[in-house]
Structures are given as C-alpha cells and as structure tokens.
Amino acid sequence: EAQVTQNPRYLITVTGKKLTVTCSQNMNHEYMSWYRQDPGLGLRQIYYSMNVEVTDKGDVPEGYKVSRKEKRNFPLILESPSPNQTSLYFCASSDRGPNEKLFFGSGTQLSVL
C-alpha cells in the first residue's frame, strides 16, 4: 500500500532533550516536506527536500534540522526542544514537487514540557 509513515504518533518530552521524528514513504517520491499545524495558523512549512541530499528552509525552520540521505526517509530533528515547539507535525511527499498532490503522514503530536 502506498503510504507515508510517521513515528511516533504521540511524544511527550522535556525542554532540551533531543528528539527525532521519522518519516518514510514507499512511493519513490522525490519531494518531501515537514509541516507544523497550530490552531488558527493552518499548516506551516518547516523544511522541504526536492531530492536526495537537497534540503531547504520553509517558513518556520528555527529550532529544527532535517536530512535526506535516502530518497525514502526524511527525519525531523529537534536538537533542543522548547515549549513553543509543542505542535502537531505532518510529513508529506509528492512525486516531483509541491505543485502536485501531497500525501501526508498520520501526524505526530508533540508536547514539550
């Protein structure tokens, strides 16, 4: 089944403790992206990747890192999480770029205490 798999679904952590949210797609998509969803603010892009080893900042990249060493994986890294990073995170992918249908993962609800 074609899908974008995100883990974990829920995560509670404390300020400053490094964490990684994984994202994997099995559709051989070139484009992958991370969004955060906050009430009243919609979906805001954190980072995106047009292909392996190519990543770029979105609208809200501060405090986040990403890597794209393999085509299928696009992990989101929070080196030193802070409470303002408490949010619902979505990974998404598309065949070639953001101007095509996005396939979203199931989301990760992160709480930073």
Closer Cβ to other proteins, 22 or 45, answer by number: 45
Residues 85 and 19 sit within 8 Å (Cβ to Cβ):
no
Smallest separation, CB 73 to other proteins (Å):
18
Smallest separation, CB 33 to other proteins (Å):
8
Smallest separation, CB 32 to other proteins (Å):
13
Gap between the Cα atoms of 80 and 15, Å rounded: 7
Closer Cβ to other proteins, 72 or 104, answer by number: 104
